[in-house]
Amino acid sequence: MCGIVGYVGEGQAASFLLDGLTRLEYRGYDSAGIAIYDGQKIQVEKSVGRLDSLKEKIKDAVPLGGLGIGHTRWATHGRPVEMNAHPHTDCTGEFVVVHNGIIENYLTLKEELIQQGHTFKSDTDTEVAVHLLEEVYDGDFEKSVREVLHRIEGSYSLVFMSKKHPDRLICTKQDNPLIIGLGECENFIASDIPAIIDRTRRAYIVKDGEIVVVKKDAVKILHHDGTLGKLEVFHITWNAEAAEKGGYEHFMLKEIHEQPKAVRNTISPRIAKDGCSIVMDELQWDAEYLSSFHKIFMIACGTAYHAALVGKYYIEKLVRLPVEVDIASEFRYRSPILDEQTLAIVVSQSGETSDTLAALREAKKLGAKTLAITNVVGSSVAREAEQVLYTWAGPEIAVASTKAYTTQLATMFMLAVYMAGIKKNISSPRMQVLIQALQRLPEQLGKTMEDVEQIKTFAKQYGFREDVFFIGRSLDYSVALEGALKLKEISYIHAEAYAAGELKHGPLALVVEGLPVIVLATQKKVYEKTISNIKEIKARDAVVIGIAVEDDHELEKYVDHVIKVPVTEELLNPLLTVVPLQLLAYYAAIARGCDVDKPRNLAKSVTVE
Ligand code: M6R
């Protein structure tokens, strides 16, 4: 996620901008830049890679001046190259902007602005904001920013600077964080508290839709309707480390809680305005293209592999094309049968997993068409696959993958609905129902995290057992696999996932008195069968924790405890049922005193075979 900083005051802007951006490095980034007004002109400096490259670049001529903005970019629209790094300027170089988030209608605006004579220098969505400001500017900076906001759609935090108004910065936000740090004869803007923590402990947390005019000795808050807002001062008591984690104890917990927003970011740019269809500008497939495929392969590792198992279900159910799912490290060593009538989809959060990359290369060599589903713009798989769908989860720092999984699921679900629409395999009313369910997910994800007391209790109660079983049928089995992986990788508890129907083919021998068994039971077609499996387990005196949907009043009759998730379309249950399993793994690891964010022997990105 991008980092934003701004400074207006009697000191040197560069000093705060570079310190502040350093403090925001934990958010992840691939390029950085600053813009400083030196009394005559706005000087913009950018660099790809670490902040140190930017510092090195300007070390002999640090721009001077008390007004400036800075940015660390985590690429979304456009590759991580210098021309796409922020700040972005208008045609005249008199207006500058930094942005965090996604401007969803940027393509339409860009076309319009190009027709009006504007010249774009980057591939970013951000640049439209500053050209739009140039276009509507009538001498009144605030009013012009307001007009820009009327035109742009999406999620953002934005800071504008203008050579024509060197006493102020104007910022605003929608669904993205932004704070104002309040100093003496200087004020600060940042996307997160760690950036300002060394300079001040007094802050204003900007609310959605507000426009804030920041001068060195005054901060004016304007509501959406133009009325004046009140400057409520928030006193920061966190230390720097706690601030990086947004007040959460670990990145994993923060990232679990980021899922509603991450899923919203993934889906909202891809739902048509009328809510009736899925738009995939990145693909633009048609019936002829789709009919050229006889088979799909999905290839991935770890959590991404578990997500692909759900993706297979979505595509087979909605698109009626056969899908084979492969573990990337197995794929190329088993002479897979692929040709030009095959679509190979590789799934990878980092886009750098070496086995996944090798599998992608193998699929290409065999003549298959390739599509990458990844979270990192400009990553190796994104560059090497013919087509890419980004998951927009934002950087995932904890080794245990959480928001990457739910956004991968959301992406694959949309891909399946999109393909089904092209193939006319789905009626319009059904498509609308599925899309509406998708749109409800962010809020429902939030609900799954509201009451964690029960999960904490289970984690304490069963966290000291050495073995746990996870079972389920159909889609529930795929989630069981992910639940078991989460538990074993961070709490070091031996966790096994089985298709519930497989139990009596062997693993039932391990089911003994007191063994915790987590049973997912959300799929109607196999519900009764799952209940029979629960009975087999209970007959061996194991302890069963059921995961069910809210309107299920049956399961509690057969299990020891139930965790419920909100009701959604059955196909979307995995996005909700995985959350209690992530939380259970997290709290079990805490109960056992494990290093949650950096589990032993594991790395975030596995770039060796
Ligand atoms: O970056 P990728 O999605 O390609 O990574 C794949 C796996 O290494 C990753 O999902 C791993 O299993 C996680 N630690 C699971 O939490």
**Closest CA relative to residue 486, chosen from 393, 592, 589, 406:** 589
pLDDT, tens digit (0-9, with 9 covering 90-100), for 550-572: 999 999 999 999 999 999 999 99
- Name the burial class of residue 507, with classes exposed (0-12), middle (13-18) and buried (19+) by CB atoms within 10 angstroms of its CB: middle
The reported pLDDT for the residue numbered 47 is 93
Task: Determine the average pLDDT of the residues in 116-125.
Answer: 94
- Name the burial class of residue 256, with classes exposed (0-12), middle (13-18) and buried (19+) by CB atoms within 10 angstroms of its CB: buried
Instruction: Name which residue leads in pLDDT, 580 or 156.
Output: 580
Element (H, E) at 564: strand 561-565
With a 6 Å cutoff on the Cβ, whether 380 touches ligand 1 is: no
With a 6 Å cutoff on the Cβ, whether 304 touches ligand 1 is: yes
What span, in angstroms and rounded, lies between the C-alpha atoms of 216 and 203?
14
The reported pLDDT for the residue numbered 604 is 73
- Lowest mean pLDDT, pick from 70-79, 276-285, 288-297, 382-391: 70-79
Strands 3-9 and 186-190: what pairing? antiparallel
The reported pLDDT for the residue numbered 234 is 84
Q: Which atom from ligand 1 is nearest to the alpha carbon of 353?
A: 4
CA of 242 to the centre of ligand 1 (A): 25
By most ligand atoms within 8 Å of CB, the mutation choice from 401, 405, 600 for ligand 1 is 401
Element (H, E) at 172: strand 169-174
First to last CA, the chain: 28
CA of 400 to the centre of ligand 1 (A): 7
- Lowest mean pLDDT, pick from 52-61, 116-125, 585-594: 52-61
Q: Which atom from ligand 1 is nearest to the alpha carbon of 349?
A: 3
- The separation between CA 141 and the C-alpha centre of its own chain, rounded to angstroms, equals 33
CA of 428 to the centre of ligand 1 (A): 36
CATH 3.40.50.10490 in the chain is located at 254-447, 453-591
Task: Determine the average pLDDT of the residues in 123-134.
Answer: 95
Fold of 254-447: Rossmann fold (3.40.50)
By most ligand atoms within 8 Å of CB, the mutation choice from 346, 373, 606 for ligand 1 is 606
What span, in angstroms and rounded, lies between the C-alpha atoms of 6 and 181?
10
The reported pLDDT for the residue numbered 75 is 83
Is 317 in contact with 303 (CB distance < 8 Å)? Answer: no
List 2, 171, 301, 594, catalytic entry: 2
Instruction: Name which residue leads in pLDDT, 228 or 239.
Output: 228
Count of CB atoms situated within 10 Å of the CB of 297:
25
What span, in angstroms and rounded, lies between the C-alpha atoms of 71 and 101?
12
With a 6 Å cutoff on the Cβ, whether 350 touches ligand 1 is: yes
By most ligand atoms within 8 Å of CB, the mutation choice from 301, 411, 600 for ligand 1 is 301
What span, in angstroms and rounded, lies between the C-alpha atoms of 5 and 34?
9
CATH 3.60.20.10 in the chain is located at 3-244
Task: Determine the average pLDDT of the residues in 433-457.
Answer: 95
Task: Determine the average pLDDT of the residues in 493-519.
Answer: 94
pLDDT surpassing 70 at residue 126: yes
With a 6 Å cutoff on the Cβ, whether 483 touches ligand 1 is: no
What span, in angstroms and rounded, lies between the C-alpha atoms of 9 and 36?
12
Q: What is the dihedral of CA 321, 326, 328, 333, to 10 degrees?
A: -110
Is 367 in contact with 340 (CB distance < 8 Å)? Answer: yes
Instruction: Identify whether 2 is a catalytic site residue.
Output: yes
Q: Which atom from ligand 1 is nearest to the alpha carbon of 486?
A: 16
The reported pLDDT for the residue numbered 176 is 80
Task: Determine the average pLDDT of the residues in 9-29.
Answer: 89
Count of CB atoms situated within 10 Å of the CB of 30:
22
Instruction: Identify whether 604 is a catalytic site residue.
Output: yes
Is 452 in contact with 588 (CB distance < 8 Å)? Answer: no
Q: Which atom from ligand 1 is nearest to the alpha carbon of 301?
A: 6
Bridge partners for 562 per DSSP: 546
The reported pLDDT for the residue numbered 161 is 97
CA of 204 to the centre of ligand 1 (A): 37
With a 6 Å cutoff on the Cβ, whether 187 touches ligand 1 is: no
541: region left, alpha or beta (phi > 0 left; psi from -120 to 50 alpha): left
pLDDT surpassing 80 at residue 184: yes
**Closest CA relative to residue 343, chosen from 293, 405, 387, 287:** 293
Per CATH, the number for 453-591 is 3.40.50.10490
The reported pLDDT for the residue numbered 1 is 66
Beta-carbon contacts of 99 under 8 Å, excluding residues fewer than 6 positions away, are 2, 4, 71, 86, 88, 125, 126, 129, 156, 157, 158
With a 6 Å cutoff on the Cβ, whether 349 touches ligand 1 is: yes
List 364, 423, 538, 604, catalytic entry: 604
pLDDT surpassing 70 at residue 609: no
Mean of per-residue pLDDT scores for the chain: 93
With a 6 Å cutoff on the Cβ, whether 489 touches ligand 1 is: yes
CATH class of 3-244: alpha beta
Read off the pTM.
0.79
The reported pLDDT for the residue numbered 426 is 95
Element (H, E) at 432: helix 428-448
pLDDT, tens digit (0-9, with 9 covering 90-100), for 255-271: 999 999 999 999 999 99
pLDDT surpassing 90 at residue 607: no
